[in-house]
């Protein structure tokens, strides 16, 4: 399984680069030393194997801690520093860890960045003699937007991840690459580059979190990377392509781009192929609950029309269901159900009716709408109010609950404004309140929600009603934005 393969690579004493971030680079040999030292520290200090929270900004100690936890048979929970404090606390309280690695203020036992670096550099353990993790054990818990206003933790097993990474290796034919990372480690998009790089003895090239706010740094980092494979969201590619220099000249060795996370438009693909002559674009699809992705489609250069998400990996199967959970025939739209090896255990701390059994196998009701054509899947919207905005997954109810909880809110309706391609351009919260101003609400929300979830705030006195007596969202948007 993947941890056996990764351990073999770590033990090979290789001086090839395993991890590069900013000015810092680390070889596989160094990484092994770091992982060994954290592994022994955790075996000693976390004997009951409760989950470990790893908090930070993509620094090497995060990746080393993830691996140390995995070899030691301990689930880990990645939290990025861009998640505001209140939300981080909610995650930590749900996890109830023995240990938090990273600089964070909490009631739990935390190992500061300095201490973990000290352990990594100065302890002298030099061997991992046993892999404690069993296939059915939790590998990691990744939190995603939840309808209650609290993020929900997806419990992914070792066998889920093993299946995902072996499949990724196969569809990318990766071997000693330079793999570009876009996403921070609390998103499951990052799982692809984190582990594909390890299993193929590749260099994991990190776009540092801060640079995302600074275009010129992103471009100088991109140039430095000389990446051969990139994992990214279409939104990120669109953003990069607003600058003409995002082309073959910048990344002459780029040969594969793996897209995931949201609808990929034909226009994005066309532009990408025109800027990079020698690349292959792969569209992949799947929710965090199904371990990064379960379908893939290699996009031909001359493709026209809608881009499919492709065929499912061999140990999974896709079905399209009607309202009564009956299988629909080819070409008919319905809810996408995924079955098979990639389905996570569920959410931590609560049971969800989205995790079901279907035809005797584990299954997950995605809430995505789509259809199959000869085994090839097309995704076409959602059944509910979950959206993707700038590549991020957001439950509109998560935003609504957080606004309601501010107090003195009479009514709130959160609506996504979409463009002609159904892509969300803006999220707007229409709010009736007696005392609060738009500025005050924004300020309060910043403490509770990550920046990409903070909507534009509009205070209004009256909500238009449709003939069913519900808020008329369309009219509300028209009244405000024409």
The residue among 188 and 203 lying less far from ligand AMP, judged by its C-beta, is 188
> Dmax of the chain from CA atoms?
72
Considering the complex, what minimum distance in angstroms separates the CB of residue 44 from ligand AMP?
35
Shortest Å, Cβ 90 to ligand AMP: 18
* Between 128 and 257, CB nearer to ligand AMP: 257
Q: Categorise residue 325: left if φ over 0, alpha if ψ from -120 to 50, beta otherwise.
A: left
> What element of type H or E holds 481?
helix 473-481
Q: How far is CA 119 from CA 19, 115, 200, 316, in A?
A: 19, 6, 27, 41
Joined together, the tokens standing for residue 449 give 């929600």
- Asked if 256 contacts 298 with a C-beta cutoff of 8 angstroms, the reply is no
Q: Look up residue 228 and give its two tokens.
A: 């051969």
The nearer residue to ligand AMP, 186 or 247, going by C-beta atoms, is 186
Whose Cβ is closer to ligand AMP: residue 298's or residue 459's? 298
Q: Could you give the CA distance from residue 61 to residue 54 in angstroms, rounded to a whole number?
A: 9
Site for ligand AMP, rule CB under 6 A: 144, 188, 260-264, 283, 285, 287-288, 309, 366, 368, 379, 388, 393
| 238 membership: H or E segment, kind and range | helix 234-241
Q: Which is nearer to ligand AMP, 246 or 389 (CB)?
A: 389
Question: Quick one: tokens of 448?
Answer: 């509770």
Q: How far apart are CA 17 and CA 227, in angstroms?
A: 13
Q: How far is the CB of 380 from ligand AMP (least distance, A)?
A: 9
Q: How far is the CB of 185 from ligand AMP (least distance, A)?
A: 14
Q: How far is the CB of 144 from ligand AMP (least distance, A)?
A: 6
Q: How far is the CB of 294 from ligand AMP (least distance, A)?
A: 10
DSSP label of 310: B
**Of 296, 378, 368, 5, whose CA–CA distance to 162 is shortest?**
5
CB of 153 to ligand AMP, least distance (A): 13
- Residues 276 and 273: their CA atoms lie apart, in Å, by 5
Q: Which is nearer to ligand AMP, 109 or 421 (CB)?
A: 421
Q: Please state the closest distance from residue 121 (CB atom) to ligand AMP, in A.
A: 35
Nearer to ligand AMP, 423 or 448 (CB): 423
Is the CA virtual torsion 185, 316, 157, 161 positive or negative?
negative
CB nearer to ligand AMP: pick between 204 and 393? 393
Question: Cβ of residue 264: shortest distance to ligand AMP, in angstroms?
Answer: 6
Report CA-CA distances (Å) from 209 to 8, 82, 213, 216, 477: 30, 9, 8, 14, 34
Q: Which is nearer to ligand AMP, 74 or 379 (CB)?
A: 379
What would the two tokens of residue 45 be? 């200090």
């Amino acid at each position: 399984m993947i941890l056996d393969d990764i351990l073999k690579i770590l033990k090979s004493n290789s001086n090839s680069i395993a991890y590069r971030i900013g000015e810092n680079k680390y070889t596989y040999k160094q990484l092994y030393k770091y992982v060994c030292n954290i592994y022994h520290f955790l075996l000693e200090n976390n004997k009951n194997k409760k989950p470990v929270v790893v908090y930070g900004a993509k620094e090497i100690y995060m990746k080393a801690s993830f691996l140390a936890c995995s070899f030691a048979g301990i689930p880990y929970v990645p939290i990025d520093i861009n998640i505001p404090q209140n939300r981080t606390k909610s995650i930590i309280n749900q996890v109830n860890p023995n240990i938090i690695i990273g600089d964070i203020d909490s009631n739990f036992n935390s190992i500061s960045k300095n201490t973990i670096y000290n352990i990594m550099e100065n302890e002298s353990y030099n061997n991992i003699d046993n892999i404690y993790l069993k296939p059915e054990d939790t590998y990691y818990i990744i939190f995603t937007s939840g309808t209650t206003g609290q993020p929900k933790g997806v419990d992914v097993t070792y066998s889920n991840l093993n299946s995902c990474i072996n499949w990724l290796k196969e569809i990318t034919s990766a071997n000693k690459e330079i793999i570009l990372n876009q996403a921070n480690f609390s998103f499951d998009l990052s799982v692809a580059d984190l582990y594909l790089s390890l299993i193929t003895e590749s260099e994991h090239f990190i776009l540092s979190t801060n640079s995302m706010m600074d275009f010129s740094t992103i471009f100088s980092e991109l140039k430095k990377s000389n990446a051969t494979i990139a994992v990214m969201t279409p939104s990120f590619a669109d953003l990069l392509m607003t600058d003409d220099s995002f082309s073959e000249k910048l990344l002459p060795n780029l040969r594969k781009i793996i897209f995931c996370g949201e609808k990929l438009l034909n226009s994005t693909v066309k532009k990408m192929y025109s800027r990079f002559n020698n690349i292959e674009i792969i569209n992949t699809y799947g929710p965090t609950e199904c371990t990064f992705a379960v379908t893939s489609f290699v996009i031909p250069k001359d493709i026209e029309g809608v881009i499919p998400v492709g065929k499912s990996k061999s140990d999974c199967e896709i079905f399209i269901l009607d309202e009564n959970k009956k299988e629909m025939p080819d070409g008919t739209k319905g809810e996408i159900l995924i079955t098979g090896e990639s389905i996570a255990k569920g959410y931590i701390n609560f049971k969800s009716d989205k995790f079901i059994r279907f035809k005797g196998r584990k299954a997950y009701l995605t809430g995505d709408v789509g259809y199959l054509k000869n085994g090839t899947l097309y995704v076409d919207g959602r059944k509910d109010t979950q959206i993707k905005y700038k590549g991020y997954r957001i439950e509109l109810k998560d935003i609504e609950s957080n606004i309601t909880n501010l107090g003195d809110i009479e009514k709130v309706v959160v609506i996504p404004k979409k463009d002609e391609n159904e892509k969300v351009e803006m999220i707007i919260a229409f709010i009736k309140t007696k005392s609060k101003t738009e500025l005050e609400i924004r300020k309060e929300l910043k403490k509770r929600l990550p920046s990409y979830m903070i909507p534009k705030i509009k205070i209004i006195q009256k909500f238009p009603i449709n003939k069913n007596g519900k808020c008329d969202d369309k009219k509300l948007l028209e009244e405000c934005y024409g």
